[in-house]
Structure 1
Amino acid sequence: MSTIGLLFSGATLFLNSLVLLKKADAKAIAVFNLFVGLLQVIVPFYLLTTTPNNDPWAIFNTSAIFLFGFTYLYVGLTTLMNLNGNGLGWYSIWVSIMAVMYGLVYFIHFHDILNGVIWLMWAYLWYLFFASLVLNKKIDHHVGCVAFIQSWITLTIPAFLTLLGIWQNQYLIKAWYIILAISIGYFIVNEIKLKKIAK
């Protein structure tokens, strides 16, 4: 995915997390979802038309942008038009499954463990949207916390470090494994607490 796309995905996810945590107005944030959603639908269409020799892996990487773009458009329109979130929830589980497959490709084909883990973290977040909107789980605060953390550690900061040209630094990558592991641990602990409360 393009670095600029990652950066603005981070901004959008950060704002959406604030809505879930009841710190921001949903309709005000929905407008930004539409801005970024349009950006991440128009840009990949352009990239696909200019891909040299129809390179399959370039197309594969570009296709990932659509997953985010259509999610943000769906969130924005669902909020502004007061639609039932059920459709967005079912779309989210489809994207969650796709994100798992993207992660596996990064593990197996690209031998890229870091980005593979990040894709699986995104898959988990999309699953949470499904659980909230379709299964009617009362987990908005948990989803907000996960979205808030992921907005920074999987999108905003990696994109910014990529713009600086230092994201591939080996020491930085090792540090990021630790950051991701701590975050995943936090998510697991929260999930366990939620299941105990549900009982």
Structure 2
Amino acid sequence: MGSVGLLYVGAVLFLNGAMLLGWVESRSAAPLNIFVGLLQVITPTYLIFTANGDANVVLSASGLYLFGFTYLYVAFNLLGGLDGTGLGYFSLFVAVCAVVYAGLNFFRLGDTAFGVIWLYWAFLWLLFFLLLGHSREELTRYTGAVALIQGWVTAAIPAFLLLTGRWGQADTPTALILAVFGVVVFVALYLRLRPGREAPSAPPAGGAAVVGGVSPG
């Protein structure tokens, strides 16, 4: 069930990344954030209630709320035109928790590949903290590109592998490939989109509106 939710996390990360890049009008992204946010609240609640006291199931499900609350928060910001600082500082909380979940996947759950994926998410949420909590608008396009790529690499592709039974928990080569890919691609993206290299393209709804309302996915 969590694998199905992960697929749609990929969709909303992709959409929110496209919004930050100025490809999608900001308010038009709100419905999917609501749909996926609700899914990522209902799914872990069901998993916890049916876990029969299995601590690892409860632990794994608990992390899904971080996504669900984020996407719902995004939707409220987009539709209500709220200031983005609250969402930014919530993103900092998520980033710290994501590092903890990465460690738990490495050393308790034995899923090294998802340990690396949680580090990907910690990096993305840190970018959202900088973008929203500290109004680092020069990071808008870079953050959008990172979110768009992570929608596929950390969510959609792993979801399909899980759904088809092809995901290996202790797959060290996969974890290494993910780690190297993340470092190389995100450093290259920063060098390409770094502040001052070229003038940022303004999103259709205006930079302030997007910065006030977008987040991870």
Task: Tell me the TM-score normalized by structure 1.
Answer: 0.90
Q: Report matched runs for 1:47-58 at 5 Å.
A: 47-52=47-52, 54-58=53-57
Partners of 2:195 and 2:102 in 1: how far apart? 27
Partners of 2:97 and 2:4 in 1: how far apart? 22
Does residue 39 (structure 1) correspond to residue 39 (structure 2)? The answer is yes
Moved more, 31-40 or 104-113: 104-113
Which residue of structure 1 aligns with residue 122 of structure 2? 123
Conserved in 2, the CA contact under 8 Å of 1:167 and 1:173? Answer: no
Conserved in 1, the CA contact under 8 Å of 2:95 and 2:126? Answer: yes
User: Taking CA–CA contacts closer than 8 Å with sequence separation of 6 or more, which of the two structures ends up with the larger relative contact order?
Assistant: 2
Q: What residue identity is the alignment partner of 1:167?
A: W
Identify if the C-alpha distance between structure 1 residues 87 and 116 changes in structure 2 by more than 3 Å, giving closer, same or farther: same
Q: Report matched runs for 1:1-199 at 5 Å.
A: 2-52=2-52, 54-137=53-136, 138-168=138-168, 174=173, 177-191=176-190, 194=194
Q: What's the offset of the Cα at 1:175?
A: 5.3
Identify if the C-alpha distance between structure 1 residues 44 and 182 changes in structure 2 by more than 3 Å, giving closer, same or farther: closer
Conserved in 2, the CA contact under 8 Å of 1:21 and 1:145? Answer: yes
Q: What's the offset of the Cα at 1:109?
A: 1.5
Q: What residue identity is the alignment partner of 2:56?
A: W
Q: What's the offset of the Cα at 1:91?
A: 0.2
Conserved in 1, the CA contact under 8 Å of 2:116 and 2:178? Answer: no
Conserved in 2, the CA contact under 8 Å of 1:41 and 1:69? Answer: yes
Task: Tell me the TM-score normalized by structure 2.
Answer: 0.83
Conserved in 1, the CA contact under 8 Å of 2:44 and 2:62? Answer: yes
Conserved in 2, the CA contact under 8 Å of 1:153 and 1:180? Answer: no
Partners of 1:63 and 1:57 in 2: how far apart? 10
Conserved in 1, the CA contact under 8 Å of 2:56 and 2:109? Answer: no
RMSD: 2.1
Partners of 1:174 and 1:102 in 2: how far apart? 20
Aligned residues: 195
Q: What's the offset of the Cα at 1:8?
A: 0.6
Partners of 1:49 and 1:179 in 2: how far apart? 33
* Structure 2 unaligned spans of 5+: 198-217
User: CA offsets per residue over residues 138-160 of structure 1, 9 Å max, x none?
Assistant: 20110011101110011001101
* Structure 1 unaligned spans of 5+: none
Q: What's the offset of the Cα at 1:26?
A: 1.1
Q: What residue identity is the alignment partner of 1:42?
A: I
Q: What's the offset of the Cα at 1:113?
A: 2.0
Partners of 1:19 and 1:152 in 2: how far apart? 16
